[in-house]
Structure 1
Amino acid sequence: MIGTIADFHFLRPYWLIFLIPIALFWWAARPRRSFGLELPKEIAPHLAEALKLGAEEHRRMRPIDFATIAMTFAAVAVAGPAWTRAPNPLIADTAPLVIALKVTDSMNETDIAPSRLERAKLKIADLIEARAGAPTALIAYAGTPHRVAPLTEDANILRPLLEGLTPAVMPVKGDAAADALVLAQSILGEPETAGTVLFILDDVDPSEMPELSEASIPLFFLTMLPNGQSIAQLEGQSRATVVPFTGDNRDISRLDRQIQSAYSSALGEGDRVEWQDRGWLFAWPAALLTLMWFRRGWVIHTMLALVLFARPDGAYADGWRDWFLTPDQQGQVAMNQKDYARAGELFEDAYHQGYAKMKAGQYAEAAEIFSQIDTADAAFAEGIARIRNREYRPAIAAFETALRRQPNWPEAHYNLEVSKAILEEVESTREQSDTGEESGIGADDVVFDNETGRGTDTTRQSEAGDGAPLSADQWISSIDTDMQDFLRSRFVLENQERSQ
């Protein structure tokens, strides 16, 4: 409460000058108190007061009083009272989160069924679901940390990678929690919003604690131990939040609330975040007081008709927002209500419109909009939309465009490599499926015109029945490459690059 009072200010204080003419108007327009003749002193005081002319009129509220109060509220509302900061509308409503999962042999203990690691994966899936639409990255660490997935709002990217994490894929045994924190900070980089890091673990090497204790960003720990057991090294950590494992979703709900709270606190400390205009809170009482003017004798009855039927088409019920909000403001309202499809139709700003359509699952339309914006962010967003729409070649081209416009962009580099890897797997699987190496279909059923293009232009001859070509989703689901092998190879390669 004290902080709210200290932060209270007006965004447009010059509008408060209208309080002066409002006060003068009230003073000049309000009827003066008028008493009749002095009554004899023998009359009882309470009777004399009742007999005085104008006494009742002085006591009751008059129309001018309601009008003055309404105008005062309106002037304060227009002045823009503010005491809290508002997040940037271009970023997610929650802070970026990096999840650092400990993947060691100890996490295979079965004191939490089916195992600590498998239950931790389920907790991560639940947290991703609770943070739907929020950017989340995943790190796996043992003796070395490895980025499994960059910051992404698409849970479908995280889930298959999460399933492939086992101690066998980690190239070095140990506990490098401090190095995982450094990697998490590099992933967060310099975001527009405050980021947080969540460690999911069952123990911490004491030698790692000094670096964790001095972290400059909020840290959260989910301890994967049965019966609410604590980790001694984490006790007394004033700058970290420790949440014990629970068999239900209480731990996830608590983490979600705590992360949101840390995000809100960080927004309040950042001067780069705009103040939230709370004038609408004062506009409501002004509107309610204005309704008093519709009493008989208080206002011309035609005023209601002028307000409600001023538009020629009479569309006052559905179109009232057009009187007060711009299309982009209406689109943001729809975004806040998670009505992304409607927001995509309301926005006039191209980037906002494309983002809303991508959130609504209209990836083709979103990609087309982003392709017409000449910025690195738009090209990156186009790549995300293309890859979600299974358009891997255009996605690669979009990420390459983003890197041309903004070189040394880690996320764009990473997504470019992921797109190429997915395209490689899809086309390899398509070749195996089409040539019959795996499915048993005759090699003569498919003819490739160009081996270098790997089936970009093909002619397929199939018999009637079940010979329909595989869809992109079927290609992906039929990929034989084990995710554990993929992650193991990638982690080994990363360690080799670090040692060079």
Structure 2
Amino acid sequence: MIDAVTEFHFIRTIYLLFLIPIAVLWWAIRPKHKGLSDLPAGIAPHLAKALLLGAEANRRIYPIDVAMTVAVLLTLAAAGPTWTRAPNPLIADTAPLVIALKVTDSMEETDLTPSRLQRAKFKITDIIDARSGAQTALIAYAGSSHRVAPLTEDANILRPLLEGLTPAVMPKSGDVAGDALVLAQSILDESQTPGAVLFVLDDLDPSQIPEFETASSQIFFLTMLPDSQEIVQLNTLKNAEVVPFSTDDRDVTRLLRQIQTAYVDALDDEDRLDWQDRGWILAWPAALLSLLWFRRGWVIRWAMLGLFLVQPSGPANADGWRDWFLTPDQQGQIAMNQKRFADAAELFEDPYHEGYARLKTGQYPEAAAIFAELKTPEAAFAEGMARIRNREYRPAISAFETALERRPNWPDAQHNLEVATAILDYVETTREQSDTGEEAGIGADDTVFDNDAGRGENTTIQAQTDGSQPLSADQWISSIDTDMQDFLRNRFLLENQERTQ
């Protein structure tokens, strides 16, 4: 509450000048009270008060009072009162979150059925599902820390990687939670919006405490211990929130609420983000005060007639009342908040937000086409997101390169460019290595690449004559059967070797 008071200001202060003519008009029109001095002399004061006509009316609230109060409220609303920042919807819907999971032998204890580690995976899955559309990264740590997945909105990427985490895939035993925190902060530094770190663990080595005491990110702990047991070391940390494990979803609900609150507070320090206009809040008391005009003697007929006259002509529409009070973009934002993305796409007039709504509803080609017409770095970034989700890796690479041209050294665009390039390289390399089709069972007679630089951009594959069709890029990826635990074990071992060299 104190932070909200200190951050309070008006976005459009010029509108506050309208309060001057409102005050002058209010003073000029409001009926003046009649005093006893207006009566002839010689009349006793108590008799004069009784003889004064309209004395009771002097205590009434006049229609002009209500009208001017409404005018003041609307003027303040137009000035744009605000005390919080508004996040960029194309970067993240909510706070970016890095989840650090402790993967040690102690997490295999069965005091939480079936095990602490398995219950931790269930809780993390619930958090990921509840944060649909938000960016989440995953870290695993024991005697070494490893980035399992970067910040991503795709839960389908995180789930199989999460399931593959066991103590057997970790190259070293131990507890380097401090190293995991440093890795988590480096991941958050790549994001454009402030985020938080969540540790899911059953214990913390006291030697790791100094790293947490000097951390710059907001830290949360989910303790995987039965019967609300405490990790004593965590009680000394002042910049961390500890949530004990619960058999129901209370722990997840509490975590999500605290993470979102921390995100809103952190936005106030982000100068790159716009302030969130809160003027709509004042529209409610203004509307309620307007209802007083229907009292007897408070003329409202002319005002109602004026409202109907300014409405556009045309057939009656049951939903047309929304157009009286809300612009199409405001209606579209309400639909977005209610996750009615298809409706929002039809309501938005602003192309930037329309494209984002179509991106959320899965209309990737339409969203990409809209963003391609805009000339901002955010639009190029969003076009790349739409292209890569539509498996158009080359156009996605081009879009992210355009975003970097318009805004050099943009970490999010640089990261996505590297991801898109890696995916394309992986697909084309797999095709080249299996161009005979023997390993995939295609039985191709001949494979011709159009050029070495394009790496199969216009590839022709002659399939066997039994009528089977050539595999698409997605089918090539799906045909590769790799055990997730073996994949993670080999990757972590390689990372550990590179660190020791």
Please report the TM-score for the alignment, with normalisation by the length of structure 2: 0.83
Matching of residue 101 in structure 1 with residue 105 in structure 2: no
Q: Structure 2 unaligned runs (5+)?
A: 450-454
Residues 214 and 402 (structure 1), Cα distance of their counterparts in 2 relative to 1, 3 Å cut = same
**Match 1:415 to one of 402, 419, 426:** 419
Structure 1, residues 380-415: CA drift from partner, whole Å, max 9, x if none? Answer: 544433343344555456556667775695623551
Question: Aligned partners of 2:14, 2:402: CA distance in 1, in Å?
Answer: 46
- Equivalent residue number for residue 359 of structure 2: 358
Greater alpha carbon shift after TM alignment, 280-289 vs 454-463? 454-463
**CA apart distance, 1:90:** 4.4
**Percent sequence identity over matched residues?**
61
Q: Name the stretch that deviates more: 205-214 or 55-64.
A: 55-64
Q: What CA distance in whole angstroms lies between the structure 2 residues aligned with 1:145 and 1:421?
A: 27
Structure 1 474/111 Cα, relative in aligned 2: closer, same or farther at 3 Å?
farther
Cα deviation 1:114-153 (Å, max 9, x = unaligned) = 2222222111110011111111111122222221111111
Name 2:494's counterpart in structure 1. Answer: 493
State the partner residue of 2:160. Answer: 160
- Matching residue of 1:339: 340
**2:144 aligned residue:** 144
Letter in 2 for 1:67: A
SS in 2 for 1:416: helix
Map of 2:196 onto structure 1: 196
Give the secondary structure class of the aligned counterpart of 1:219: strand
**Cα separation, partners in 2 of 1:129 and 1:429, compared to 1, 3 Å:** farther
Does structure 2 conserve the Cα–Cα contact (< 8 Å) formed by 1:335 and 1:343? yes
Greater shift in the superposed pair: 196-205 or 333-342: 333-342
Moved more, 234-243 or 475-484: 475-484
Q: Who is 2:19 aligned against?
A: 19
Q: Partner of 1:450 in structure 2?
A: 448
Report the equivalent of 2:314.
313
Q: CA deviation at 1:359?
A: 1.4
CA drift at 1:16? 3.3
Question: In 2, are the aligned partners of 1:110 and 1:116 still within 8 Å (CA)?
Answer: yes
Q: How far apart, CA to CA, are the structure 2 residues paired with 1:55 and 1:137?
A: 72
Distance 1:40 1:459, change over 3 A: farther
Aligned mates of 1:63, 1:75 — CA distance in 2: 18
TM-score (norm 1): 0.83
Q: What corresponds to 1:58 in structure 2?
A: 58
Alpha-carbon distance, 1:461 to partner: 6.2
Q: How far does residue 360 in structure 1 lie from its aligned partner after superposition?
A: 1.4
**Residue 166 to residue 455, structure 1, CA distance change in 2 (3 Å):** farther
Aligned runs of 1:172-251 on 2, under 5 Å? 172-189=172-189, 191-251=191-251
Decide whether aligned partners of structure 1 residues 164 and 417 sit closer, same or farther in structure 2, where only a CA change above 3 A counts.
Answer: farther
CA distance in 1 between counterparts of 2:300 and 2:176 reads: 77
- Residue 452 of structure 2 corresponds to which residue in structure 1? none
Secondary structure of the 2:123 match is: helix
Q: How far apart are 1:194 and its partner, in Å?
A: 1.8
Report the CA distance between 1:421 and its aligned residue: 6.8
Q: Is the 8 A contact 1:222 1:243 kept in 2?
A: yes
TM-aligned CA deviation for residue 219 of structure 1: 0.9
1:351 and 1:370 in contact (8 A); partners too: yes
Structure 2 distance, partners of 1:211, 1:63, is 64
Contact 2:79 2:279 in 1 (8 A): yes
Q: Which runs of 5+ in 1 are unaligned?
A: none
Q: Deviations over 1:268-308 (max 9, x none)?
A: 44455444333323333333434444567644735423312
Give the C-alpha shift of residue 480 in structure 1: 1.2
Which secondary structure does the structure 2 equivalent of 1:307 belong to?
helix
Q: What is the alpha-carbon root mean square deviation over aligned residues?
A: 3.8
Shift of 1:109: 2.5
CA distance change for structure 1 residues 152 and 331 in 2, over 3 Å: closer, same or farther?
A: same
Distance 1:123 1:261 in 2: 20
Distance 2:372 2:10 in 1: 40
Contact 2:112 2:225 in 1 (8 A): yes
Post-superposition shift, 1:484? 2.1
Q: Is the 8 A contact 1:399 1:415 kept in 2?
A: no
- Residue number in structure 2 paired with 1:120: 120
1:215-294 aligned at under 5 Å gives the runs 215-293=215-293
Stretch deviating more after TM superposition (212-221 or 357-366): 357-366
CA distance in 2, matches of 1:223, 1:269: 30
3-state SS in 2 of match to 1:222? strand
Structure 1 SS opposite 2:198: strand
Q: Deviations over 1:61-112 (max 9, x none)?
A: 3322322322232333333333444434544342111111122233223222
Query: Within 1, Cα distance between the matches of 2:383 and 2:179?
Result: 33
Cα distance per residue 1:365-392 (max 9 Å; x no partner): 2233344556665555444333433445
* Cα distance, 1:248 vs structure 2: 1.8
Residue aligning to 2:31: 31
Q: Which amino acid aligns with 1:415?
A: V
Residue 412 of structure 1 aligns with an amino acid whose one-letter code is N
Report SS of the residue matched to 1:171.
coil
For 1:392 and 1:273, locate their aligned partners in 2 and report how far apart those are by CA, in whole Å.
29
Change beyond 3 A, Cα 1:58–1:174: same
Name the CA distance, whole Å, in 1 between partners of 2:127 and 2:217: 20
- 1:60-75 pair list within 5 angstroms: 60-75=60-75
Question: Could you say what secondary structure the match of 2:72 adopts?
Answer: helix
Structure 1 residues 339 and 131: CA distance shift in structure 2, 3 A: same
Q: How far 1:418 moved relative to its partner?
A: 4.9
State how many pairs are aligned: 490
Check the 8 A contact 1:150/1:414 in 2, yes or no.
Answer: no
Q: Indicate if the aligned counterparts of 1:219 and 1:241 stay in contact, CA closer than 8 A.
A: yes
Give the Cα separation in 1 of the matches to 2:458 and 2:15.
67
